[in-house]
């Protein structure tokens, strides 16, 4: 039997973000599948699917967030287990696609790790990939299987629209994010500004100029990932120095690693919105300036449409 709306849908999750998987299942009015995932004493990952999935349409939910390498290998092992259990179709659901920032050869003798991860997923058994806000849309071309690329913008924009922030200007922290910022600005009926950023080394950014008028305006910094918060710190300070009234920021993926807390404490930011594509560490859950928005309904609807072989792109019409 080919994978279709007539085959049984089975949803499983690894250890990376089980709370998101449970939310997705609640949206779908479905039960989370029974899978045992654990580590041996030496750190090796192990899994066993504890129910029959022969001929089933299987969805494996696992963002490759920190600890990235562990979560990635765990996903690969789950994919292999599903493949060897005769699933009809296997979809890897990666709300956050790790290694996406290594998507090109920008220096001599460096890997294109985003492509390597794509090959690993396909080899392990993924016949389809569902993900949200890839760091670069061109990563879809690294796969030889279909990729459904979702956007968190509707979830974030809906929340910001309810706040009715006056005199708003949307800011892209670099030239690469202009299309994303322009889409936000159009939906929010706001102005647009761009930061001229240089990155001399990984996780280090320098802001040289602000392109656009932000004086006396409230500004919203829009980006896909907040990791060490270096870009956010530099961007927010530059905007305030150029006369911005209040600074807000929104991100799809809230990684928040390394010196992120120290940098956010010194950044002139009113509020930060992130989605739950990755789990916030416990130390961040009570941080007063961060609000988490759920993408469970977005992912759940996409999963339902993939299972029923209906359009996913129409979600964003």
Query: Which residues partner with 171 through β-bridges?
Result: 193, 221
Give every CB contact of residue 78 below 8 A, 6+ residues apart in sequence.
12, 14, 35, 37, 47, 49, 60, 62
Sheet strands (E) in 138-190: 147-150, 168-172
Is 197 annotated as catalytic? yes
Q: Kindly name the residue from 83, 164, 197, 237 that is annotated as catalytic.
A: 197
Q: Closest by alpha carbon to 176, among 159, 160, 198?
A: 198
Query: Which residues partner with 207 through β-bridges?
Result: 197
Q: Closest by alpha carbon to 222, among 178, 264, 269, 171?
A: 171
Q: Closest by alpha carbon to 77, among 15, 30, 144, 154?
A: 15
Say if residues 210 and 251 touch (Cβ distance below 8 Å): no
Give catalytic residues, as residue numbers.
Answer: 197
């Amino acid at each position: 039997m080919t994978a279709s709306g007539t085959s049984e849908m089975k949803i499983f999750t690894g250890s990376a973000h089980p709370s998101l998987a449970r939310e997705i299942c609640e949206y779908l009015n479905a039960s989370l599948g029974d899978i045992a995932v654990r580590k041996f004493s030496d750190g090796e990952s192990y899994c066993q699917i504890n129910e029959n999935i022969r001929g089933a349409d299987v969805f494996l939910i696992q963002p490759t967030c920190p600890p990235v390498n562990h979560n990635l290998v765990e996903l690969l092992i789950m994919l292999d287990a599903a493949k060897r259990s005769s699933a009809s179709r296997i979809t890897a659901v990666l709300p956050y696609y790790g290694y996406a920032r290594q998507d090109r050869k920008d220096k001599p003798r460096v890997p294109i790790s985003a492509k390597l991860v794509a090959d690993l997923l396909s080899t392990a058994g993924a016949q389809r990939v569902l993900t949200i806000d890839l760091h670069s849309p061109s990563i879809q071309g690294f796969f030889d299987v279909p990729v459904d690329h979702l956007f968190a913008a509707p979830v974030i924009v809906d929340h910001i629209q309810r706040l009715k922030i006056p005199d708003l200007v949307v800011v892209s922290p670099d030239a690469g994010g202009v299309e994303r910022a322009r889409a936000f600005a159009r939906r929010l009926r706001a102005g647009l500004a761009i930061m001229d950023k240089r990155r001399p080394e990984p996780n280090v950014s320098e802001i040289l100029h602000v392109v656009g008028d932000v004086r006396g305006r409230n500004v919203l910094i829009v980006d896909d990932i907040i990791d060490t918060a270096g870009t956010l710190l530099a961007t927010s300070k530059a905007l305030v120095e150029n006369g911005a009234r209040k600074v807000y920021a929104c991100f799809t993926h809230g990684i928040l690693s390394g010196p992120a807390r120290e940098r956010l404490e010194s950044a002139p930011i009113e509020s930060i919105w992130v989605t739950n594509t990755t789990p916030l560490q416990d130390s961040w859950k009570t941080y007063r300036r961060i609000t988490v928005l759920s993408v469970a309904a977005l992912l759940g609807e996409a999963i339902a449409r993939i299972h029923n072989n209906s359009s996913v792109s129409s979600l964003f019409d």
